[in-house]
């Protein structure tokens, strides 16, 4: 950081214009990623925050000012049509992902799409097809499973890939939150199937499934599932809401998504997997916890302590072995060389900085980014199998290959 930049006298890197659709929670996080990536990493492409899009003209203009976007649009078609936009970043609810992403790809833009990729397998399939067509044209598409870019997760993947765990026996993932515990929490879009597709399953379970498969390096072969909606009626919204908060009115309406989803499964290798996604675990705020047990070692991670990775080396003598807490802040850890000295924590939004950096690197070098739309579709197929199993009395249901 304090070394003279050897390339100082060289030409600055070319820019890539970003257009973002949606500016709520995810939009704010993505903005931070785009703004910061080039300030921390030496990038081959410098992102230009060209325009942000939202339906409310006043609000989107304010968001543009706040988050540093040069222009504001109120129709996503106009955003896509802009010449200064080469990459469309989709931060809207899942019901609009397919339409926007396909249009952007057809308009010759690169696309980054928030997870879950879509609200149905059919939509996701159409998106993959569009991405494949666009790929021939040099365009890239990526889905935003940002937790792969937590350094501890990225390093955990490296350890598994290097064989430190040996043959996998178990993968267990819980993603526990508690913002729906209170029955007075109102009926936001996240609780309606027509917007959100599903509840805890698509919101939290999608992350859980992606992380499990990413870390294990292999897909789920099949699943058995139970889902539940504990609070079936909630107050209608009184006023504007982000999905995660808002005030309720005196009237109520039906919750049409799951509050919680539990499922077990088998990975392709035969390892067993267990999953729990819920918004009803009082006291758990963002407890995405992953553990993998293999013949040679185990790994554990908790998103509430995201700078740490827990590792047990089973090849050590039992007398001195045990889970060690690796503080994932060394320069040799993924992404860390560009940040602070050892022991200085990163946070949640850094995943978006890393995502922006990796996508810009991929575009500059013409390599396919991960996770791809195909990866997003595969997660969608797992979620579909979960829903099918839940409807069929939990019977074991293969995931479409």
Residues in region 269-298 near its own copies by CB under 8 A:
270, 272, 274, 276, 278, 280-287, 291, 293-298
Rg (C-alpha) for the chain, rounded Å, is 21
| 238 lines the binding site for its own copies (CB under 8 A) | no
Q: What is the C-alpha to C-alpha distance for residues 127 and 130, in angstroms, rounded to an integer?
A: 5
| 226 lines the binding site for its own copies (CB under 8 A) | yes
Q: What is the C-alpha to C-alpha distance for residues 269 and 171, in angstroms, rounded to an integer?
A: 12
Please identify, using beta-carbon distances, which residue of 146 and 372 lies nearer to its own copies. Answer: 146
Supply the minimum distance, in Å, between the C-beta of residue 39 and its own copies. Answer: 6
Supply the minimum distance, in Å, between the C-beta of residue 303 and its own copies. Answer: 8
Is there a contact between 49 and 15 (Cβ–Cβ < 8 Å)? Answer: no
| 323 lines the binding site for its own copies (CB under 8 A) | yes
| 154 lines the binding site for its own copies (CB under 8 A) | no
Q: What is the C-alpha to C-alpha distance for residues 59 and 68, in angstroms, rounded to an integer?
A: 14
Phi, psi of 388 (to 5 degrees): -65, -45
Out of 108, 138, 163, 341, the residue judged to bind its own copies by CB under 8 A: 341
Q: What is the C-alpha to C-alpha distance for residues 120 and 100, in angstroms, rounded to an integer?
A: 15
Size of the site for its own copies (CB under 8 A): 120
Angstrom distances, CA of residue 390 to CA of 57, 260, 334, 374, 395: 42, 12, 38, 24, 8
φ/ψ bin of 203: left (φ > 0), alpha (ψ from -120 to 50), beta (otherwise) = alpha
Q: Is 161 exposed, middle or buried (CB count within 10 Å of its CB: 0-12, 13-18, 19+)?
A: exposed
* Residues numbered 13-72 forming contacts with its own copies, rule: CB under 8 A: 23-25, 28-29, 31-32, 35-36, 39-40, 42, 56, 58-59, 61-63, 65-68
| 255 lines the binding site for its own copies (CB under 8 A) | no
Supply the minimum distance, in Å, between the C-beta of residue 401 and its own copies. Answer: 18
Supply the minimum distance, in Å, between the C-beta of residue 345 and its own copies. Answer: 5
47: tokens are 């992102």
| 109 lines the binding site for its own copies (CB under 8 A) | no
Please identify, using beta-carbon distances, which residue of 125 and 291 lies nearer to its own copies. Answer: 291
Out of 160, 200, 237, 326, the residue judged to bind its own copies by CB under 8 A: 326
Please identify, using beta-carbon distances, which residue of 26 and 359 lies nearer to its own copies. Answer: 26
């Amino acid at each position: 950081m304090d070394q003279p930049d050897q390339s100082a006298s060289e030409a600055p890197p070319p820019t890539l214009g970003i257009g973002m659709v949606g500016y709520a929670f995810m939009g704010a996080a993505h903005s931070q990623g785009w703004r910061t990536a080039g300030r921390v990493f030496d990038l081959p492409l410098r992102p230009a925050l060209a325009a942000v899009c939202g339906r409310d003209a006043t609000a989107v203009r304010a968001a543009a000012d706040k988050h540093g976007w040069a222009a504001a649009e109120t129709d996503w078609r106009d955003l896509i049509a802009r010449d200064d936009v080469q990459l469309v970043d989709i931060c809207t609810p899942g019901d609009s992902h397919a339409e926007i992403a396909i249009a952007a790809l057809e308009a010759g833009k690169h696309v980054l799409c928030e997870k879950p990729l879509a609200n149905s397998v059919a939509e996701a399939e159409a998106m993959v097809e569009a991405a494949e067509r666009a790929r021939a044209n040099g365009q890239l598409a990526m889905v935003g499973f940002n937790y792969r870019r937590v350094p501890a997760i990225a390093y955990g993947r490296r350890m598994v890939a290097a064989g430190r765990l040996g043959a996998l026996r178990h993968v267990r993932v819980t993603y526990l939150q508690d913002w729906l515990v209170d029955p007075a929490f109102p009926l936001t879009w996240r609780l309606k199937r027509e917007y959100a597709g599903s509840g805890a399953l698509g919101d939290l379970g999608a992350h859980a499934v992606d992380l499990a498969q990413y870390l294990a390096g292999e897909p789920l072969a099949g699943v058995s599932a139970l889902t539940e909606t504990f609070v079936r009626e909630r107050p209608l919204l009184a006023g504007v809401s982000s999905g995660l908060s808002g005030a309720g009115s005196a009237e109520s309406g039906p919750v049409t998504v799951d509050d919680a989803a539990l499922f077990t499964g088998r990975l392709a290798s035969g390892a067993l997997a267990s999953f729990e996604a819920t918004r009803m675990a009082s006291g758990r705020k963002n407890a995405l916890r992953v553990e993998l047990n293999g013949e040679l070692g185990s790994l554990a991670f908790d998103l509430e302590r995201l700078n740490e990775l827990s590792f047990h080396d089973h090849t050590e003598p039992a007398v001195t072995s045990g889970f060690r807490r690796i503080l994932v802040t060394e320069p040799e850890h993924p992404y860390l060389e560009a940040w602070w000295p050892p022991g200085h924590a990163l946070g949640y939004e850094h995943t978006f900085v890393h995502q922006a950096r990796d996508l810009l690197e991929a575009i500059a070098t013409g390599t396919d980014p991960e996770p791809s739309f195909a990866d997003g579709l595969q997660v969608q197929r797992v979620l579909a199998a979960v829903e099918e199993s839940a409807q069929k009395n939990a019977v074991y249901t293969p995931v479409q290959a």
